[in-house]
Amino acid sequence: MNYLLHLLVYFDIFLIVALSLNLLVGYCGMLTLAQAGCYAVGAYAYALLSLQPGWGFIPAALTGAVIAAVLSMAVSLPAWRLRGDFFVLASLAVQTLILSGLYNWSSANAPLGSWRNLTNGSFGISGILRASILGCQISGSATFALFATLVAVVCAFVLWRLQTSPWGRLLIAMRDDDLAARGLGKNTRLAKVQAVALSCGLSAVAGSLYAAHVRYVDPSSASLDESILMLSMVIVGGLGNFRGPVVGAAILLLLPEVLRFLPFPDAQAANLRLLISGALLVLMMHFRPQGIAGSHRMQ
């Protein structure tokens, strides 16, 4: 039962990430590799704020979201000028800089959480407190799973309302023809900044959930592999609508879990997982470029 609850929490986390990434990749057409960076910023913000000043989940997660939204300008401002491959590279640069920052903002002889040793480098931060809301701590795993599902539903609702709003249609228009949208008097630069900030903020909330669930963070949650996993969830599931990322998050989350129960030795199962997700991506690109349940075909 605990195992299933753990899976549910992970599904909630990746649901938020995949839906928010879909806002960028599917609706704005901006293939970003910096999403794991924002996710890790959220996780670290929650870890530090809950350890030192002892904040509850909601203010800590919101602070993390605001920090990630401000940092996301490093992705959205280049998007004013750069497109296609160049934008992917710019977002990769941001991602690598965040990862380096998390790895190196540390010093061996300063206490954890002080200005000189903010992230504790490659050792990560352990012993993060369980989430507490309005002063009362969530102790049971069932309660936490319920809470995570609640957060995911709220995030999904916000994204759904925004994507079906005129603002969502502006993003689609911008994706299909930036020049035409500008010609019709829409401020596409502002829309890009808003969309990236929103998406990164929501990923940071997912990161906070992750830190509160696993209760340990280290810089590897900002790694390029993590970004690629998030991206493949969106691409396998489908771009440009609401159900695609849900399907993608479920498939890529359940794939290693299914392999766990098949009779393979552990050493092979890890490689098999990479093999299957790689083959899945190649096959999807060939036979169904819009993803399993997607509606937008990436150029």
Partner 1 sequence: MRPNLGLRLRALADNPVQFALFGYNLDRHRLLAFGLAGVFATASSLVTAYDIGFDPHTGLNEVLLAVVAAIIGGRGSFMGAFVGALLLGTLRAQVVWYWSARWEEAATFALLALFLLIRPQGLLGQKYRLEAAA
Residue 133, SS3 per DSSP: strand
- Would you say 174 and 188 are in contact if contact means Cβ atoms under 8 Å apart? yes
Q: Which is nearer to partner 1, 103 or 264 (CB)?
A: 103
Q: Which is nearer to partner 1, 50 or 120 (CB)?
A: 120
Task: Report how far apart, in Å, the C-alpha atoms of 2 and of each of 8, 11, 143 are.
Answer: 10, 14, 11
Least distance in Å: CB of 271 to partner 1?
A: 9
The conformation of residue 105, written as its DSSP 8-state character, comes to S
Q: Which is nearer to partner 1, 3 or 287 (CB)?
A: 287
- For the CA atoms of 283, 289, 293, 295, what is the dihedral angle to 10 degrees? 180
Structural tokens at position 79: 């998007």
Q: Which is nearer to partner 1, 35 or 241 (CB)?
A: 35
Q: Which is nearer to partner 1, 200 or 247 (CB)?
A: 200
Q: Which is nearer to partner 1, 84 or 140 (CB)?
A: 84
Least distance in Å: CB of 251 to partner 1?
A: 23
**Residue 199 CB partners (closer than 8 Å, separation 6+):** 20, 21, 23, 24, 35, 38, 72
Least distance in Å: CB of 90 to partner 1?
A: 5
Least distance in Å: CB of 128 to partner 1?
A: 24
Least distance in Å: CB of 187 to partner 1?
A: 17
Q: Which amino acid is at 91?
A: S
- Would you say 209 and 16 are in contact if contact means Cβ atoms under 8 Å apart? yes
* Residue 124 phi, psi (nearest 5): 75, 180
Q: Which is nearer to partner 1, 130 or 182 (CB)?
A: 182
Q: Which is nearer to partner 1, 91 or 203 (CB)?
A: 91
Least distance in Å: CB of 86 to partner 1?
A: 6
Least distance in Å: CB of 288 to partner 1?
A: 20
Task: Report how far apart, in Å, the C-alpha atoms of 131 and of each of 45, 73, 94, 214 are.
Answer: 13, 29, 29, 11
Least distance in Å: CB of 92 to partner 1?
A: 7
- Would you say 30 and 244 are in contact if contact means Cβ atoms under 8 Å apart? no
Residue 126, SS3 per DSSP: strand
Q: Report the C-alpha gap between 77 and 91 in whole angstroms.
A: 11
Which helix (H) or strand (E) segment is 93 a member of? helix 84-104
- The site for partner 1 (CB under 8 A) is made up of 78, 81-87, 89-90, 92-94, 96-97, 99-101, 103-104, 224
